[in-house]
Amino acid sequence: MKETISKNRWDSNLYDDKTSFVSQLGKGVVELLNPKPGERILDLGCGTGDLTYEMAKTGAIPLGIDLSSTMIEAARKKYPDIKFSVENATTYRTSEPFDAVFSNAALHWIKSPSKVIETVWYALKNGGRFVAEFGGKGNVESIINSISSVLSDYGVSASERNPWYYPSIGEYSTLLEKQGFRVTYAVHFDRPTLLNDGSKGLDNWLDMFSDDFFYGFSAACKKEIYEKINKELKPALFNNGNWYADYKRIRVIAEK
């Protein structure tokens, strides 16, 4: 089956300015990776390169890859001494295997998980490790339910447009083991996440991550939809002047 590419338009400036929590929270995953001087590490879905840079600071030698050319362009400008490349995680191959593959907040964008796991397998040396965090089952469930409810009033099925893959910990561990990996650590946890920019936080989040749901709507109609989603979610996700997203994440370590 051909991989469906998300329609999401990646705005690297908005990503760095209004959703910087992605990289900040990802630093914990870098600590889990524990990169060592001289290790070659593939950062799969590197975005604008902030976590790739964190690896480089330890003396590791990272390569950052991402499907978005705008994100890679921004990463190259921010960190000119680090190598970045526009690549597809479902098809990427290398003749020089890595000591580790790292991924933060990227794998839930790819609905062909087995292909990505195969990419990781072939990218690693024997004994190499795969360390990742991504959205797990139930991630942003309140937001998705609200989007679905509002879009149904416009005759649009949100489920048909949903770009995300949020597996259970059992589902994902099974796929890793089927490929041949040994899963040594896996956890599925709640992480309510503060969205930047106060009362505009949810709108910024929808702008950054949710184009797939709203393509084809005029700017005025989209504004109206956002207002309805805000109103519906405010009792559950707005507190003391700030929006929080109901994140549920999976962290996993697997060895080849």
Angstrom distance (rounded) from CA 187 to CA 249: 8
Q: What is the pLDDT of residue 208?
A: 85
Q: How far is CA 136 from CA 94, 102, 119, in A?
A: 28, 17, 20
Q: What is the pLDDT of residue 196?
A: 83
Q: What is the pLDDT of residue 9?
A: 56
pLDDT in tens, the chain (256 residues): 334 555 555 454 554 444 444 456 557 899 999 999 999 999 999 999 999 999 999 999 999 999 999 999 999 999 999 999 999 999 999 999 999 999 999 999 999 999 999 999 999 999 999 999 999 999 999 999 999 999 999 999 999 999 999 999 999 999 999 999 999 999 999 999 999 888 999 999 999 889 899 999 999 999 999 999 999 999 999 999 999 999 999 999 999 9
Q: What is the pLDDT of residue 7?
A: 53
Q: How far is CA 195 from CA 14, 184, 206, in A?
A: 13, 32, 11
Q: What is the pLDDT of residue 20?
A: 46
Q: Which residues fall within 8 angstroms of residue 230, CB to CB, at 6 or more apart?
A: 202, 203
Q: Which residues fall within 8 angstroms of residue 145, CB to CB, at 6 or more apart?
A: none
| Domains of the chain as residue ranges with CATH | 12-140+163-196+245-255 (3.40.50.150)
Listed residue (30, 41, 37) closest to 97, CA to CA? 41
Q: What is the pLDDT of residue 6?
A: 53
Buried b (16+ CB within 10 A) or exposed e, 88-101: ebbebeeeeebbbb
Three-state DSSP class for 102? strand
The DSSP annotation for 125-143 comes to: EEEEEEEEEEE-TTTTHHH
Residue 179, CA atoms < 13 Å, CB-side half-sphere: 23
Listed residue (78, 36, 81, 37) closest to 63, CA to CA? 81
Angstrom distance (rounded) from CA 1 to CA 133: 25
